[in-house]
């Protein structure tokens, strides 16, 4: 599917996922190995940014034909699980701006509801890394995208980074926002009757922050 980028399923990556999927993995190990995957996702996101040619002079006084990034970036995390991905972005991009969007399920309607958003004033001029570890039904992510679009961000400037995605979530998200690139660490089998990703890895936020 165009604009869906899955990380290469190398032995290293499969090993990392085997650790964080294991229900017996302790929180410290879950955080450590999740952070490694998040770093790989951020690196792939940076690979997708546009560049332009530039010439620099090396310490040997030789010219080198290189490239430089076009435009500024920022991260936007979907609170709270998405906040786990912020440090991985900061590790790769010094002084990167971070915005936050809080979306929770309305208990009466069972639909996602926007509670809070705080975004850089110039976000419409930036490339946006939307951060959320899991793409299940896609409801929260699509509401977050609507917030970004309302602030003038173009679809083609949004990159949605997640550790795991369901086929159903990808399909729903892509149909609505075909110009947004989804960068995922893995695509799982399906959603179950409770709309959880399977085989999955459980509640990412709870495992990262609480258990």
CA dist., res. 107 & res. 152, Å (int): 30
Per-residue pLDDT, 99: 97
Enumerate the H helices of 26-111 as residue ranges: 27-47, 86-92
Answer whether 141's CB lies under 8 Å from 88's CB: no
Banded model confidence at residue 85, pLDDT cuts 50, 70, 90: very high
Q: Average the pLDDT over 20-45 and give the result.
A: 97
- Nearest in space to 141 (alpha carbons), one of 125, 129, 156: 129
Containing 206, the helix (H) or strand (E) segment is helix 204-209
Q: How many domains does the chain have?
A: 1
Answer whether 41's CB lies under 8 Å from 157's CB: no
* pLDDT tens by residue, 13-26: 999 999 999 999 99
Answer whether 70's CB lies under 8 Å from 49's CB: yes
Per-residue pLDDT, 187: 97
Based on the number of CB atoms within 10 Å of its own CB, is 161 exposed (0-12), middle (13-18) or buried (19 or more)?
buried
**Mean pLDDT value across the chain:** 94
Per-residue pLDDT, 113: 84
* pLDDT tens by residue, 56-84: 999 999 999 999 998 899 999 999 899 99
Which domain, by its residues, includes 161? Answer: 4-209
Active site residues: 105, 109, 203, 206
Per-residue pLDDT, 107: 64
ω before 199 within 30° of 0 (cis)?
yes
Is pLDDT above 90 for 5? yes
Is pLDDT above 90 for 41? yes
CB-based contacts of 31, cutoff 8 Å, min separation 6: 84, 208
Q: Tell me the CA distances in angstroms from 77 to 49, 58, 160, one per residue in order.
A: 19, 38, 10
Is pLDDT above 90 for 200? yes
CA dist., res. 47 & res. 187, Å (int): 20
Whole-structure pTM value: 0.93
Indicate which CATH number applies to the domain containing 144. 3.40.50.2020
């Amino acid at each position: 599917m165009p604009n869906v980028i899955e990380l290469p399923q190398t032995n290293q990556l499969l090993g990392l996922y085997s650790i964080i999927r294991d229900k017996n993995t302790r929180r410290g190990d879950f955080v450590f190995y999740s952070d490694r995957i998040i770093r790989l996702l951020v690196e792939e996101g940076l690979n997708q940014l546009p560049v332009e040619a530039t010439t620099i002079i090396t310490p040997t006084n030789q010219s080198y034909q290189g490239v430089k990034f076009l435009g500024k970036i920022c991260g936007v995390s979907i609170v709270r699980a998405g906040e786990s991905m912020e440090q991985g972005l900061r590790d790769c991009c010094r002084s990167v701006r971070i915005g936050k969007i809080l979306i929770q399920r309305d208990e009466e309607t069972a639909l996602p509801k926007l509670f809070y958003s705080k975004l850089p004033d110039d976000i419409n001029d930036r490339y946006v890394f939307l951060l959320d570890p899991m793409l299940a039904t896609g409801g929260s992510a699509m509401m977050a995208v609507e917030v970004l679009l309302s602030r003038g961000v173009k679809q083609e400037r949004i990159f949605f980074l997640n550790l795991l995605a369901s086929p159903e979530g990808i399909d729903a998200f892509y149909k609505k926002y075909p110009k947004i690139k989804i960068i995922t660490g893995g695509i799982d089998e399906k959603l179950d009757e409770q709309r959880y990703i399977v085989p999955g890895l459980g509640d990412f936020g709870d495992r990262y922050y609480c258990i």
